[in-house]
């Protein structure tokens, strides 16, 4: 059992390090709105991980493998969410660009950009929806978690334990990223830097959404 847990933790860390939609959303929130909001987004993301793990443990996410209609419904919904968030980021970049350079003694490179207040509750839901609207996470959970269940172990309890470990590993990975993004927030929130960051994150989210929508 201990060997399976160690192997699972190592695999979970490798998976957490692969950037995806959640990484983009979490870093964007941490940079634009600060570490507290970034952490709320992380907590939402980890609740999504736990929900997928619970679904895998109960056999619900296996429906995504068996039903093309269910998979496509979640896939299209998730793609729409990513495209919408990306479009909002691009719109924010345009607004920041419109404010930058119009008068002011410091200019866009010396004055921090104004940031729209985002509540921790909204950031939490954004992290949760981003994770849970990704059908790949469900397919991954149902195909990945059972591989580490030792022979003879209680399947349901073991899968639930692995789901909790998966969320904790994810949390450990994102904590330093959010801390670093918040630490650099004063620089990254300057108008010129934030505009470029919003453009990049918006384009990435739209691209990920379109890619998800186009996949079979």
- pLDDT tens digits, one per residue of 143-160: 778 778 888 788 788 888
Q: Answer yes or no: is pLDDT of 124 > 90.
A: yes
Q: How far is 148 from 113, CA to CA, in rounded Å?
A: 47
Cβ–Cβ under 8 Å, residues 57 and 166: no
Q: Answer yes or no: is pLDDT of 111 > 60.
A: no
**Whole-structure pTM value:** 0.72
Looking at every residue in the chain, the average pLDDT score rounds to 77
Residue 132: name the closest of 76, 69, 88, 74 by CA.
Answer: 74
pLDDT computed for residue 176 by the predictor: 92
pLDDT computed for residue 58 by the predictor: 80
């Amino acid at each position: 059992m201990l060997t399976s847990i160690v192997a699972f933790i190592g695999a979970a860390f490798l998976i957490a390090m692969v950037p995806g939609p959640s990484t983009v959303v979490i870093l964007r929130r941490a940079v634009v709105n600060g570490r507290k909001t970034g952490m709320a987004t992380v907590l939402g993301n980890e609740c999504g991980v736990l929900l997928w793990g619970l679904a895998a443990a109960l056999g619900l996410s296996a429906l995504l493998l068996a039903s093309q209609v269910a998979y496509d419904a979640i896939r299209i919904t998730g793609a729409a969410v990513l495209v919408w968030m990306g479009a909002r980021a691009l719109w924010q970049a345009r607004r920041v660009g419109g404010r930058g350079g119009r008068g002011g003694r410091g200019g866009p490179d010396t004055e921090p950009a104004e940031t729209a207040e985002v509540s921790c509750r909204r950031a939490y839901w954004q992290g949760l929806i981003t994770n849970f609207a990704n059908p790949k996470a469900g397919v991954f959970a149902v195909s990945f978690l059972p591989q580490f269940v030792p022979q003879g172990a209680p399947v349901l309890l073991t899968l639930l334990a692995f789901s909790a470990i998966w969320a904790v590993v994810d949390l450990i990975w994102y904590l330093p990223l959010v801390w670093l993004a918040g630490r650099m927030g004063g620089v990254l929130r300057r108008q010129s830097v934030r505009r470029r960051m919003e453009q990049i994150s918006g384009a990435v989210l739209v691209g990920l959404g379109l890619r998800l929508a186009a996949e079979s």
